[in-house]
């Protein structure tokens, strides 16, 4: 009975989970700036989740170092489907200046399907908001596809 | 006072004030002056000195030879914005101002191709200059020695 209501509400309020995969902290600060009152992504429905099991969108920052690779992949696996993976900043998408380093194990797209790339070093909060909006749209589409296939969301 | 509720005055005044949040998604916003955003490449000004590739820390700039004939070579230069640190070294070192970092911050994409900036430039081949006869050179040297 409440399924439709819950689905509609969930589409308007995706929860974020943030993973730092060896970031320099630049992108992390920008993500915090997006969630705190100056840019306040919560007024648009985005909310930071405390655990990956509650999350819809995973935001990965940092170049994916060899030490953290397995942990990041395990955390992403814990996020229930439908999920959306967003790379924030240049590092997780390509490695940026760290790409020739011996501890670099990326890019992230080598291991999982990345849905949205947000460029910038570090990404501007407006750009992050835009990327999250795109991710929310993709998530809504994935939800519909999953429902049409007969899956339970 | 009997009706001295805390913060009532504050709450009522704040209700009719403008929000202190950025109004970005609802109102368009421009970047600050000198913001380094999406790269624009002016291929007609490029002289293919290759300095931008050498100074690029992230290795974001690549060249591909597209076509070649006797007079000129046509190259395609790709700027990978996912490898870029937006340090603007490439534009600073460019003597012909062929690379420009604009204030456009809308840099998101669902595919890798969305974040590539491409531009073509041509390199005119120099014709080989006819060398002077070696005998004449030797003569001139001898004259100088004398």
Check which CATH number belongs to the domain holding B113 and give it: 3.30.70.3270
Domain assignment of residue B106, yes or no: yes
A33 touches B: beta carbon within 8 Å: no
Query: What CA–CA distance (Å, rounded) separates A92 from A24?
Result: 12
Domain assignment of residue B119, yes or no: yes
ipTM (interface predicted TM): 0.84
B84 contacts A121? CB cut-off 8 A:
yes
**pLDDT tens digits for range B109-131:** 999 888 899 999 888 888 777 77
Nearest CA in chain A to B105: A127
**pLDDT tens digits for range A31-78:** 999 999 899 888 888 999 999 999 999 999 999 999 999 999 999 999
Give the model's confidence band at A11: pLDDT under 50 very low, under 70 low, under 90 confident, else very high: confident
Domain assignment of residue B59, yes or no: yes
Overall domain count for chain B:
1
Query: For residue B56, what are the domain limits?
Result: 31-125
Residue A49: both structure tokens together: 């989740």
Domain assignment of residue B104, yes or no: yes
Domain spans in chain A, listed from the N-terminal domain onward:
14-143
Which of B17, B25, B82, B102 has the most A C-beta neighbours within 10 Å, making it the best mutation to test the interface with A? B82
Helices (runs of H) and strands (runs of E) counted in chain A: 5, 5
Correct CATH for A14-143 of 3.40.50.12280, 3.10.580.10, 3.40.50.1370, 3.50.50.60: 3.40.50.12280
A44 contacts B106? CB cut-off 8 A:
no
| Chain B positions touching chain A (beta carbons under 8 Å) | 20-22, 24-25, 29, 31, 35, 37, 57-59, 80-86, 105-110, 112, 114-115
Residue B76: both structure tokens together: 């395609």
Cβ atoms of B78 and B61 within 8 Å: the answer is: yes
């Amino acid at each position: 009975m409440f399924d439709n209501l819950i689905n509609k509400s969930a589409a308007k309020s995706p929860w974020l989970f943030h993973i730092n995969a060896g970031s320099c902290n630049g992108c992390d600060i920008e993500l915090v700036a997006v969630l705190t009152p100056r840019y306040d992504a919560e007024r648009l429905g985005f909310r930071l989740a405390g655990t990956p099991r509650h999350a819809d969108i995973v935001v990965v920052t940092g170049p994916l170092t060899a030490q953290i690779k397995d942990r990041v992949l395990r955390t992403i696996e814990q996020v229930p489907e439908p999920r959306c993976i967003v790379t924030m900043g240049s590092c997780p998408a390509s490695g940026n200046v760290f790409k020739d380093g011996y501890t670099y194990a990326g890019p992230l797209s080598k291991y999982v399907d990345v849905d949205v790339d947000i460029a910038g070093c570090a990404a501007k909060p407006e750009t992050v908001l835009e990327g999250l909006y795109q991710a929310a749209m993709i998530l809504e589409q994935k939800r519909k596809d999953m429902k049409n296939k007969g899956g339970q969301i | 006072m009997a009706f001295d509720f805390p913060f009532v005055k504050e709450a009522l005044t704040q209700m009719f004030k403008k929000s202190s949040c950025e109004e970005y998604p609802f109102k368009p916003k421009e970047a600050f002056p000198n913001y380094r955003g999406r790269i624009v490449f002016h291929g007609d000004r490029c002289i293919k000195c290759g300095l931008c590739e050498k100074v690029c820390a992230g290795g974001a700039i690549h060249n591909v030879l597209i076509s070649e004939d006797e007079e000129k070579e046509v190259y395609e230069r790709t700027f990978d914005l996912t490898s870029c640190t937006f340090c603007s070294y490439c534009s600073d070192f460019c003597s012909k101002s062929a690379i420009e970092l604009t204030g456009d911050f809308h840099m998101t994409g669902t595919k890798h191709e969305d974040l590539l900036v491409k531009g073509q430039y041509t390199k005119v081949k120099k014709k080989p200059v006819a060398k002077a006869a070696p005998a004449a050179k030797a003569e001139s040297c001898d004259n100088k020695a004398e």
